[in-house]
């Protein structure tokens, strides 16, 4: 019962905030509403017993990515005309296509999973760590992804750094 209550709370929070961020006129308000969505999704992960994923969702998305989005919005002075309804309809079209693809792929899987006991979810950190770092498991994919991300980081630093002409300095 507590699980169902929490499910409805988090589901309402995430869907409501997603709709708010989609239809609000003020872009900065939309970005702040995204926080509710991200936290709500983290709560849903927690209900499914994925504690590590839920914490990572909050730390990375709400604490990191969302702040980057807010920085981008606050420093670039967004134009009010950018919120045209046509774009929203385009987004709804893409969402519909995505939903169709999703249903086609995983539609036959069981939808209603029994929520885990909230008081003591099984810790998943150990399994995730072992899966990521075992040679016969996901080690290669994990290291490959970290190399790609490192390359992206170096490239971003290279593009963003200030360039000096040799003549200017001298």
Q: 16-35: which residues touch another protein (CB under 8 A)?
A: 26, 28-29, 32, 35
Q: For 114, list phi and psi in degrees, rounded to 5.
A: -65, 125
Burial bucket for residue 93 (CB in 10 Å: 0-12, 13-18, 19+):
exposed
Among residue numbers 42 through 101, which ones bind another protein (CB under 8 A)? 51-52, 55-56, 58-59, 62-64, 66-67, 70-71, 74
The one among 90, 91, 96, 123 contacting another protein by CB under 8 A: 123
Q: Find the binding residues for another protein in span 135-164 (CB under 8 A).
A: none
With CB under 8 A as the contact rule, the residue among 13, 18, 27, 39 that binds another protein is: 39
Distance of alpha carbon 33 from alpha carbon 19, whole angstroms = 9
Q: Which residue has the tokens 């069981």?
A: 110
CA distances from 1 to 4, 43, 45, 50 (A): 5, 16, 17, 19
Per-residue CA distances from 58 to 13, 36, 55 (Å): 15, 11, 5
CB closer to another protein, 63 vs 93: 63
**Closer to another protein by Cβ: residue 22 or 73:** 73
Among 15, 125, 133, 153, binds another protein (CB under 8 A): 125
Q: Using CA atoms, how far apart are residues 55 and 148, in angstroms rounded to an integer? A: 24
Catalog residues that contact another protein under the rule CB under 8 A: 1-2, 5, 26, 28-29, 32, 35, 39, 51-52, 55-56, 58-59, 62-64, 66-67, 70-71, 74, 119, 121, 123, 125
């Amino acid at each position: 019962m507590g699980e169902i209550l929490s499910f409805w709370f988090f589901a309402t929070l995430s869907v409501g905030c997603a709709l708010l961020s989609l239809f609000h006129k003020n872009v900065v308000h939309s970005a702040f509403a995204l926080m509710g969505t991200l936290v709500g999704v983290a709560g849903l992960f927690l209900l499914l017993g994925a504690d590590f994923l839920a914490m990572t969702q909050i730390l990375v998305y709400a604490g990191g990515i969302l702040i980057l989005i807010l920085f981008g919005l606050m420093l670039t002075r967004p134009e009010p005309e950018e919120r045209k309804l046509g774009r929203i309809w385009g987004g709804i079209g893409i969402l519909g296509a995505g939903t169709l693809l999703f249903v086609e792929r995983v539609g036959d899987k069981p939808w209603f999973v029994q929520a885990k006991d909230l008081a003591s979810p099984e810790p998943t950190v150990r399994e995730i760590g072992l899966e990521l770092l075992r040679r016969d498991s996901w080690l290669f994919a994990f290291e490959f992804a970290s190399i790609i991300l490192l390359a992206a980081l170096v490239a971003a630093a290279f593009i963003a750094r200030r360039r000096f002409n040799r003549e200017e300095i001298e």
